[in-house]
Structure 1
Amino acid sequence: MHRRSTLIRVVAVGATLLTLAGVAGSATASDATASDATASDAPSAAREAAALTGTAKLDRPPGDDATVTIDAHLDAADKNDPRKAHGTIKLSHYMTNPKFGGSAEARVDCLLTGGKVATVSAVVTKADGGLKGAIGKRLGLTIHDQGKQDRFGYSWAMVGIPNDLPDDMPKCVSAAPFDKTKPGSGDLHVLPMK
């Protein structure tokens, strides 16, 4: 009996020490993370509820080069409000016939995921060339993460280019993923809602 109570006490003390070590370790890691983080990247330090990240080219014929880079995140604390998503989307599209070219950068304002499908929207903050008319407009993208060749949809599918998007487009609106990414050109990853 005496031996059993000693063993229980040793296990209890060991568990307490492990718990305290874990708390101290996480506090140290949190402190280091917090001190390294700036105000602009502080939300990304929190555990994520969902994310859409990666770079890929669309599967287009020669002379038509369209690339997208997405870095969209929804923190766990905001999982019930996809409009609190943050991050950036970068687009570039250059064609030789008809001659067209431009790039744009947009600030993410919504992210919804369901399984391996995500819809993200963002407001264009910078653009050049043929995409200058998109500044201040909201665009939407839908991605179906299929591994080596993802499916891709975009809100301007019916109007031509993002310049022609309506000024009052709602958040998290896009088209079905009707297009494809080019195999071997990169990959887009969906972290489903937790």
Structure 2
Amino acid sequence: MRKTVGWVAVAAAVLMAGAAAPAGATERGPARVTGWAEFELPFGADADVRSFEFDARSAPWSRPIPAEGGEHGSPADATGTVRVAHYLASEKVTVRWEAAVDCLMTSPGHATVTAIVTRADDYAKSLLGTRVGFSVQDGGRGRDRVGFTWDATFDQNEAGEWGPSRIGPCLSTAAFGTVTRGDFRIRHAELTPPPSR
């Protein structure tokens, strides 16, 4: 009986320790966001089906910029691809587009990704060349969330005119959409210091 109680206690402790650790906290290697999932919006309920697919990898200090101090780029520089699919139920058509990742920042279980749209179906041609932002929350299978910037945020230019938000590298919203199918995975890594000059 004592042995049984002891094993139960050990098993419970292991399970509790695993549950307490944030997603991606124990993995080693560069920061990454991977996976595919469908999600629903908390506003404007409809019959549309939306999904994101991430393959984003950290590539720190790899994108030099022509500004003072930008010779080596940023600790959040990244590479990879984001694929977006949106089934428009009212028109019975799926709109797809892709974007090239340029920035990634993580904390345990959370990530912000930005990417430049490089390919788009006719319905989304207006996005070509623009930077879009994504936020991902990896809560474990069935508890993930995601957010995005287009159609969710607006901005004013210097003349006070309203339009789509201008998104800088690694800027996005909170993860406001709930994943309904699929799984996102985040591997967290701390930002690294600049290379020696």
TM range (shorter): 0.5 to 0.7
Pick the aligned partner of 1:188 from 160, 184, 188.
184
Q: Secondary structure at the residue paired with 1:52?
A: strand
Partner of 1:118: 111
Cα distance 1:75–1:151, how it changes in 2: closer, same or farther (>3 A)? Answer: same
1:71 deviates by 0.3
Residues 34-89 of structure 1, C-alpha deviations (whole Å, 9 max, x = no match): xxxxxxxxxxxxx84200010001136673111110000014776x9344200000
Q: Is the 8 A contact 2:32 2:58 kept in 1?
A: yes
Which of 151, 154, 179 pairs up with 2:177? 179
Alignment size in residue pairs: 141
> What is residue 88 of structure 1 aligned with on the other side?
81
**Equivalent pair of 2:61/2:75 in contact (CA under 8 Å):** no
Q: What percent identity do the matched residue pairs reach?
A: 33
Tell me the residue number matched to 2:195: none
Q: Distance in 2 between matches of 1:82 and 1:55?
A: 26
Identify the residue that residue 101 of structure 2 maps to in structure 1. 108
1:3-47 deviations in Å (ceiling 9; x for gaps): xxxxxxxxxxxxxxxxxxxxxxxxxxxxxxxxxxxxxxxxxxxx8
Task: Specify whether residues 86 and 96 from structure 1 end up closer, same or farther in structure 2 by C-alpha distance, changes over 3 A only.
Answer: same
**In the superposition, relative to structure 1, how do residues 157 and 48 fare at CA in structure 2: closer, same or farther (>3 Å)?**
farther
**Higher-Rg member (1/2):** 1
Give 1:52's aligned residue: 33
1:69 & 1:75 partners in 2: Cα distance? 19
C-alpha distance 75-189 of structure 1, shift in aligned 2 (>3 A): same
User: Can you give the 5+ residue segments of structure 2 that lack an aligned partner in the other structure?
Assistant: 1-27, 63-72, 155-162, 191-197
Instruction: Measure how far apart 1:130 and its partner are.
Output: 1.8
User: 1:72-83 to 2 correspondence within 5 Å?
Assistant: 72-75=56-59, 81-83=74-76
- Among 50, 53, 64, the alignment partner of 1:66 is 50
Structure 1: which 5+ residue stretches go unaligned? 1-46
